[in-house]
Amino acid sequence: MYDITQSCCYWLVTLSAKLLKTNNYCEAFHRAQQRLIQMDHPSIWKFIKGLQVSAKNTNFVIETLIAGNNPPQMKGLYRRINTNIETIVADYANRTFENYLRGIAHKISICKSYLGNCTE
């Protein structure tokens, strides 16, 4: 008989391991908040005010993009990653679906691990 509790435990352990990792988005948000608030341990009111200012700035950027303005220029690493992924996407018809996904995943992992060596 199938034991669902073991599957749930495996899923929760796997999910919690993935959720505990930080990524560039979290670190960038944290750095931006620190720059905005300009203190290490703000009071709750200063923290809320910082979040409100951050939300206002984000809404302004979204509105300028909706109005048709160009997004900010990407860093060189991410431009190279995008160019390499576009090459793989253009070759989609000549690949199996599995190889297509592997190619994209491999390119992203190689580029990020070598921080800029995206010419392979």
Q: 59-115: per-residue pLDDT in tens?
A: 998 899 899 888 777 777 777 777 888 888 888 899 898 988 888 888 777 665 655
DSSP classification of residue 91 = T
Please write the tens of the pLDDT for every residue from 24-33. Answer: 667 777 888 8
Instruction: Kindly report whether the global pTM for this prediction surpasses the value 0.85.
Output: no
- CA 1 vs. chain centroid, Å, equals 40
Could you tell me if 94 and 68 lie in one domain? no
Q: How far is CA 92 from the centre of its chain?
A: 24
DSSP collapsed to 3 states, 92-120 = HHHCCHHHHHHHHHHHHHHHHHHCCCCCC
- Euclidean distance between CA atoms 81 and 91, whole angstroms: 16
Average pLDDT, the chain: 75
pLDDT the model gives residue 52: 92
Residue 63: both structure tokens together: 């509105």
Q: 63: buried, middle or exposed (CB in 10 Å: 19+, 13-18, 0-12)?
A: exposed
Kindly state whether residues 59 and 90 are assigned to the same domain. Answer: no
Q: Are residues 3 and 17 in the same domain?
A: yes
Q: Residue 3: which domain range?
A: 1-72
pLDDT value of position 119? 47
The verdict on 65 and 83 lying in the same domain is: no
Does 112 lie in the same domain as 54?
Answer: no
Rounded-to-5 percentages of helix, strand, coil across the chain: 75, 0, 25
Query: 14-68, pLDDT tens digit by residue?
Result: 545 555 555 666 777 788 888 888 888 889 999 899 889 989 988 998 899 899 8
Q: Are residues 107 and 66 in the same domain?
A: no
53 and 7 share one domain: yes
Domain total in the chain:
2
Do 15 and 51 sit in the same domain of this protein? yes
